[in-house]
Amino acid sequence: MTTTAPEVVRPDPAADPSAAWSSPSIRLSHVSKVFGHGPQAVHALDRVSLTVGTGEFVCLLGASGCGKSTLLNLIAGLDAPSLGTLEVTSRPTLMFQEAALFPWLTVRGNVDLALKLRKVHKRERTAKVDELLDLVHLRDFARKRPHELSGGMRQRVALARALSQDTDILLMDEPFGALDAMTRDILHDELELLWSTTAKTVVFVTHNVREAVRLGDRVVLLSSRPGRVAAEWEIGIPRPRRMDSAVVAEQAATITDRLRAEVRRHGDH
Amino acid sequence: MATTETPPTAATDLDAELAGLDALETGPSRSRLRVRTAWAATWPKLVAIALALLIWQVVVWSGWRPEYVLPGPAKVFSKLTSDFGALVEGSLTTLQRAVVGFALALVIGVVLGALVSRSKVLRAGLGSMITGLQTMPSIAWFPLAIVLFKLSEGAIYFVVVIGAAPSIANGLIGGVDHIPPVLLRAGRVLGARGFASLRHVILPAALPAFVNGLKQGWAFAWRSLLAGELLVLIAGNRTLGGLLDANRQVFDTAGLISVMIVILVIGIVVDSVLFGTLDKVIRRRYGLIDTAR
Ligand SMILES: Nc1ncnc2c1ncn2[C@@H]1O[C@H](COP(=O)(O)OP(=O)(O)OP(=O)(O)O)[C@@H](O)[C@H]1O
Ligand SMILES: [Mg+2]
């Protein structure tokens, strides 16, 4: 993996979306990932080529076990590809599929540590933590520890922690999987607002096709075993979008059909 | 809602609703149950002590051994009060040695554990040796210790450290080994490297197992120390081990048992009150205690 200096020129994506993505932020070419050796080996990813433009919001769909988390781990630099090359313009932040909060710290402590590790000064941290906890509506739970929270609340703390990172690339692995519909809708709005104001590049993994269409500039479908890019859709629906709008539902239906075919193909095999 | 003076915005409405939802998700505070839980933990212990005293008294009554060889609880307790000054003095000297010895073991154990858990070579070389050291009865070290350090406190500290440090090191190594990988990855994603990673991720994550190691290390230290005080008698020092030996020499069984009771009580208090509480507090913090139990 080659990581260049985190200095990135970010054109205003609102002005002309296609121009904004002309400079890629993440580039994978023919990336394969094999776990284990010999007959036991699992080919999690097979020659995946994917380019994500600066400021682009890409949603990844695919059956369970098709390699989505593996892909994010590779992009985050937590794991190295078995084959192929991977380039990112700066160190990404990864929001894990499991919340992965530090159990010995309170909610506030978890977010605060993330800022501290970024060397944010103590004086600024307090206000920043409050702001982030407000964003995920967990200010009242600041003094609780992760094990005292529900699964959805833990996910929101993980979201606050990920957003505290202020990096240009944000990788999110099913971040809203455990949330009720109402909380999820609010966080969609917050995430979209944050993305459009900070021009972050986002790769967002989900099993919810409508969520993918609601959020993504592009939806990428991975096939299973081995994981490959099976199909891609540019989502041209103007923002703001709503999950329950007819256009979103229509686009989601097309993608769902393809996803079903993909899952079925895998089942036959 | 129509009667409110300032109509809430959609956002605050949602906030309120969300807060309501969240409030549903966490239970009420359990502080009131504390007293009841404390009592539930205490009374079985009191009953057990009473039973032990009763059995002891019954054995004495049975006349299995004459009263001057095996005295009853009453005699021993009167001895406890009459020898109180000497017992306190002896306890203080012994406890001071325990603290010094344990502190030495702690420093050595932590350094050893940290090195072994971070280095593959050291682990291959020393890992199994540390565990092996734990199986060595501490009393077996004394002949060598006495040769090396003469009949001095140094000999005692040597054995205490060699008994306790491996447990402490092993606690740390085990704790580091069992950190969930996702926490280490989370640390890396957040940019924790080197010392920051050690300070903010690795050490806190290893803490519960480390405290267990401390507890075990204390048990080894206390045992080695008493063995040492029996073997390495230093003139002019009043210690619990010395008192044991003095009572044995004059066949004062009541005195002997009273010293043993002091040794037992100190051991239990440090083990369960100090380390036990520490362990419980940490486990509760980390969410490692099943709330259903
Ligand atoms: N560390 C590992 N060792 C061995 N196999 C692994 C490892 N991590 C993942 N795999 C395998 O790689 C494949 C892809 O896993 P991955 O976690 O990327 O799936 P996913 O698409 O994220 O699934 P889900 O939607 O259920 O989260 C799976 O078959 C899994 O068993
Ligand atoms: Mg996954």
Could you report the predicted ipTM of this complex, rounded to two decimals?
Answer: 0.83
If one counts every other C-beta atom within 10 angstroms of the C-beta of residue B85, the result is 9
Residue A33 Cβ contacting ligand 1 at under 6 Å: no
pLDDT, position A11: 36
CB A24 within 8 A of CB A55: no
SS3 A76: coil
Beta bridge partners of A34: A43
- From the CB of A97, is ligand 1 less than 6 Å away? yes
pLDDT computed for residue A264 by the predictor: 81
Instruction: Name the token pair of A107.
Output: 């909610």
Q: So what's the pLDDT on residue A22?
A: 64
Residue B211 backbone dihedrals phi, psi, to 5 degrees: -65, -35
pLDDT score at A18: 44
Per-residue DSSP letters for B179-217? S-HHHHHHHHHTT--HHHHIIIIIHHHHHHHHHHHHHHH
A189 in contact with B, Cβ within 8 Å? no
Q: Say yes or no: B284 contacts chain A, CB-CB below 8 A.
A: no
Q: Which of A167-181, A223-237, B22-36, B250-264 has the lowest mean pLDDT?
A: B22-36
| CB-CB under 8 Å, B191 with A137 | no
Which one-letter DSSP state was computed for residue A103? T
- B283's CB contacts (< 8 A; 6+ apart) are B208, B289
Residues of chain A with pLDDT under 70: 1-22, 266-269
| pLDDT of res. A268 | 54
Tell me which residue has its CA closest to atom 22 in ligand 1. Answer: A69
> Which domains are assigned to chain A?
25-91+170-269 (3.40.50.300), 101-166 (no CATH)
pLDDT attached to residue B4: 42
Residues of chain B contacting residue A113, judged by C-beta atoms under 8 Å apart: 190, 200
A44 lines ligand 1 (CB under 6 A): yes
Q: What is the pLDDT of residue B38?
A: 84
Pairs across A and B, CB distance < 8 A: 81
Q: Does B289 touch chain A (CB under 8 A)?
A: no
Q: State how far the Cα of A8 lies from the Cα of A67, in Å rounded to an integer.
A: 28
Which contiguous run of DSSP H or E holds residue B134?
helix B120-135
Chain A residues with beta carbon closer than 8 angstroms to that of B205: 102, 104
Residues contacting A21, CB < 8 A, separation 6+: A13, A53, A54, A55, A56, A217
Mean pLDDT of chain B: 87
Task: State yes or no: pLDDT of B16 exceeds 80.
Answer: no
Evaluate if residue B115 carries a pLDDT over 60. Answer: yes
- Suggest the residue from A73, A104, A112, A190 to mutate for an interface test with chain B (most B CBs closer than 10 A): A104
Q: Would you say residue B211 has pLDDT above 50?
A: yes
At A263 the pLDDT is: 80
Q: Do B205 and A102 touch (CB under 8 A)?
A: yes
Give the pLDDT score at B138.
87
Render pLDDT for B159-198 as a digit per residue (tens, 0 to 9): 999 999 999 999 999 999 999 999 999 999 999 988 899 9
Q: Is B122 helix (H, G, I), strand (E, B) or coil?
A: helix
Residue A17 pLDDT: 44
Inspect the interface and report whether the beta carbons of B185 and A138 lie closer than 8 Å: no
Domains, chain B, in order of start with CATH, read 74-285 (1.10.3720.10)
pLDDT of A39: 86
In this prediction, residue B15 has a pLDDT band, given cuts at 50, 70 and 90, of low
What is the A60 CA–ligand 2 centroid distance (Å)? 11
**Distance from chain centroid for Cα A113:** 21
CB A44 within 8 A of CB A33: yes
Looking at residue B233, its pLDDT comes to 85
- Taking residue A240's Cβ as centre, other Cβ atoms within 10 Å add up to 12
Question: What is the rounded distance in angstroms from the CA atom of residue A79 to the CA atom of residue A72?
Answer: 9
For residue B182, which ligand has an atom nearest its CA?
A: 1
In chain B, the residue whose alpha carbon lies closest to the alpha carbon of A114 is B190
Query: Which residue has a Cα nearest atom 26 of ligand 1?
Result: A64
Which atom of ligand 1 lies closest to the CA of A66?
A: 21
Shortest-distance Cα residue to atom 1 of ligand 1 = A35
- Our answer on whether the CB atom of A222 is closer than 6 Å to any ligand 1 atom is no
The verdict on the CB of residue A42 being under 6 Å from ligand 1 is yes
Query: What is the C-alpha to C-alpha distance for residues B2 and B87, in angstroms, rounded to an integer?
Result: 77
Quick: pLDDT tens for B136-154.
Answer: 888 899 999 999 999 899 9
**B160 and chain A in contact, CB less than 8 A:** no
Q: CB distance from B190 to chain A under 8 Å?
A: yes
C-alpha dihedral, B254 to B255 to B257 to B262, nearest 10°: 140
Query: Any chain A CB within 8 A of the CB of B199?
Result: no
Burial class (CB in 10 A: 0-12, 13-18, 19+), B236: exposed
Q: Do B192 and A161 touch (CB under 8 A)?
A: no
Work out the pLDDT band at B120, boundaries 50, 70, 90: confident
CA-to-CA distance for B265 and B257, rounded, in angstroms? Answer: 12
Q: Which helix (H) or strand (E) holds A256?
A: helix A246-268
Its pTM surpasses 0.90: no
Of A104, A144, A182, the CB nearest to B286: A104
**Residue environment code for A168-202, b if the CB has 16+ CB neighbours within 10 A, otherwise e:** bbbbbbbbbbbbeeebbbbbbeebbeebeeebbbb
